[in-house]
A = this chain, B = another copy of it.
Amino acid sequence: MSITKPSIPKGTRDFSPDEMNKRNFIFDTLREIFKKYGYQQIETPAMENLSTLLGKYGEEGDKLLFRILNSGNFLEGFEPDDLASVELNQLSSYICEKGLRYDLTVPFARYVVQNRNEITFPFKRFQIQPVWRADRPQKGRYREFFQCDVDVVGSNSLLNEVELIQIIDEAFNRMNVRTVIKINNRKILSGIAEYIGEPERIVDITIAIDKLEKVGWERVQEELFQRGLAEGAINELKSIVQVLDLNNIEKLDFLEKVLFASESGLTGVKELRTLFEYLEILSIKTPVEIDLTLARGLNYYTGAIFEVKALDVEIGSICGGGRYDNLTGIFGLPDVSGVGISFGADRIFDVLNQLEGYPPDASQSTQVLFVNFGEKEELYCLPLVQKLREKGIKAELFPGNQKMKKQMSYADAKKIPFVAMVGETEMTNGTISLKNMVTGEQAAILFDELILKLSV
């Protein structure tokens, strides 16, 4: 045969009915919680202008953007000679004006600026949509994946940070995933940079120590050295960042002493103290730990930094975020402070799969299947099935008079718990033979009894 087997682009996935049920369980849980905290949903287009996306994710990020070829004559006005001399990067900017969104944060910032006159601040929004990155596909990393973002913009209150931790706590408890919430504060990191005498190298420092857990101190030290930090500074950094055997309050006490000369550092310490005070009152179930190496690569964070790790599955972070003071500044609206987190739906999906943490009814679809014995029975059953549906009961009549065995394995495959059989006898008696597909029991019942049985 000349037809090749169809496939999908690498790094992308289809989701089967069973997988969709599980994913919807995650999305529905998050959506319900977000709404309970007063967050409102928005959606933005999959395509953004490249001018919106470029330069927002660093040089590496620019390379990972999926660009969309201009439609129509995309080379119009371009001479062959130009083509021969132009650089790749320039050419792609010339022939592509749009790209697929890389995250939900930049489109959100763009949305806020574009709609600033219609929005009432503080604006609490959530957004659940796919994003695309031309990353090298590997286990647990996809080129299309969903982010679930919750952000507040236009409010400096630390109450927002508290609320986000409450949301994390409730979400993972509802999904039965044991986690730890790691927390840090960019102001403390700045304070540390000042303390070690390298206040200008804050970006280099955060990029390097962010990798500490993954690569170990040796390699972080090496990187810092290569980035031009003095040996003395590196050692001082180590002495602070590596203080591991203290609890949260002890860590804050320690930092308050060390950073006494740094205004920024002390503010950071104070912010974290307030946060822990609030959490104390609320008796959060999830452990919250200060982790001074947490920087989350992105250097737009200006205050709190969060990261959530699953305790029983090795998978990296499943949720993270922080406070940013000037996200909308890049689009011309300065001084809008915000704080937000992003749940990684695809990793949470993997975690729940490994823990088998889905509620049992997450895969339940149709409640009863009517067997199709032929035309006469079909005409008899059709209005019955319709009456069930009017009562909100999920019901099917098998399409067509196929072999009994085929109809029963259809019910099996779809995990339908009850099969109703109505043949000559039942039509005469006005009954229904109902088979329980789990126990195998079978009994003749009246239609009204069936309604009662299936109404929950």
In A156-185, the 8 Å CB interface with B consists of 156-157, 159-160, 162-163, 166, 170
Among candidates B8, B84, B369, B413, residue contacting A84 with C-beta atoms closer than 8 Å: B84
> Is A414 in the interface zone, CB < 8 Å from B?
yes
B389 in contact with A46 (CB, 8 Å): no
A113 interface contact, C-beta 8 A? yes
Nearest B residue (CB) for A95: B69
Q: Is A14 an interface residue (CB 8 A)?
A: yes
The answer to whether A260 has its CB under 8 Å from any CB of chain B is no
Q: A79-94 vs B: 1/0 string, CB under 8 Å?
A: 0110111001001100
Within 8 Å CB of A163, what residues of B? Answer: 399
Q: How far is the CA of A278 from the CA of B375 in the complex (A)?
A: 11
B14, B20, B394: the one within 8 Å of A45 (CB): B14
Name the CB-closest residue of B to A154: B399
A125: which B residues are within 8 A, CB to CB?
A: 17
Q: Is the CB of A7 within 8 A of B114?
A: yes
Q: Does A75 contact B (CB under 8 A)?
A: yes
Q: Which residues of B contact A395 (CB under 8 A)?
A: 36, 38
The interface residues of chain A, by DSSP majority, are classed as mixed
Partner of A15, one of B6, B21, B42: B42
Which A residues between 392 and 427 are near B, CB-CB below 8 angstroms?
A: 392-397, 399-400, 409-410, 413-414
Give Cα A114–Cα B15 distance, bound, in whole angstroms: 12
- Which residues from chain B contact A36 at a C-beta distance below 8 Å? 389, 392-395
| Contact-residue size bin, chain A (C-beta under 8 Å from the other chain) | 35 or more
Residues of the B chain whose Cβ atoms lie less than 8 Å from the Cβ of A4: 51, 332
A:8-23 near B, CB below 8 Å: 8-9, 12-17, 20-21
Contacts of A100 in B (CB 8 A): 46, 68
Closest to A50 in B: B9
Which residues on the B side are within 8 Å of A144 (C-beta)?
Answer: 45-47
Instruction: Check if A443 is an interface residue, CB within 8 A of chain B.
Output: no
Digitize A115-146: 1 where CB-to-B-CB distance is under 8 Å, 0 elsewhere: 10010101011000010101000000001100
A203 at the interface (CB under 8 A from B): no
Q: How far is the CB of A43 from chain B (nearest CB, A)?
A: 4
Contact A66 B71 (CB under 8 A): yes
CA distance A41 to B73 in the complex (A): 38
In the complex with contacts A281-B379, A383-B282, A410-B120, A114-B5 CB distance below 8 A: yes
Q: Are A12 and B396 in contact (CB under 8 A)?
A: no
B45 and A17 within 8 A (CB) = no
A396 close to B37 (CB less than 8 A): yes
Name the residue on B nearest A328 (C-beta): B6
- Provided the pairs A83-B84, A115-B16 are in contact, do residues A157 and B382 lie with their beta carbons within 8 angstroms? no
A6-B110, A36-B394, A80-B80 are known contacts; what are 16 more A-B pairs with Cβ within 8 Å?
Answer: A4-B51, A5-B332, A6-B52, A6-B113, A7-B49, A9-B48, A9-B97, A12-B45, A17-B40, A36-B393, A37-B396, A45-B144, A120-B414, A122-B400, A282-B382, A282-B386
Jot down 16 A-B pairs with beta carbons below 8 A, ordered by A: A1-B332, A4-B332, A5-B332, A9-B45, A12-B47, A15-B42, A15-B43, A17-B40, A20-B41, A35-B394, A38-B369, A46-B130, A63-B71, A120-B409, A124-B396, A166-B386
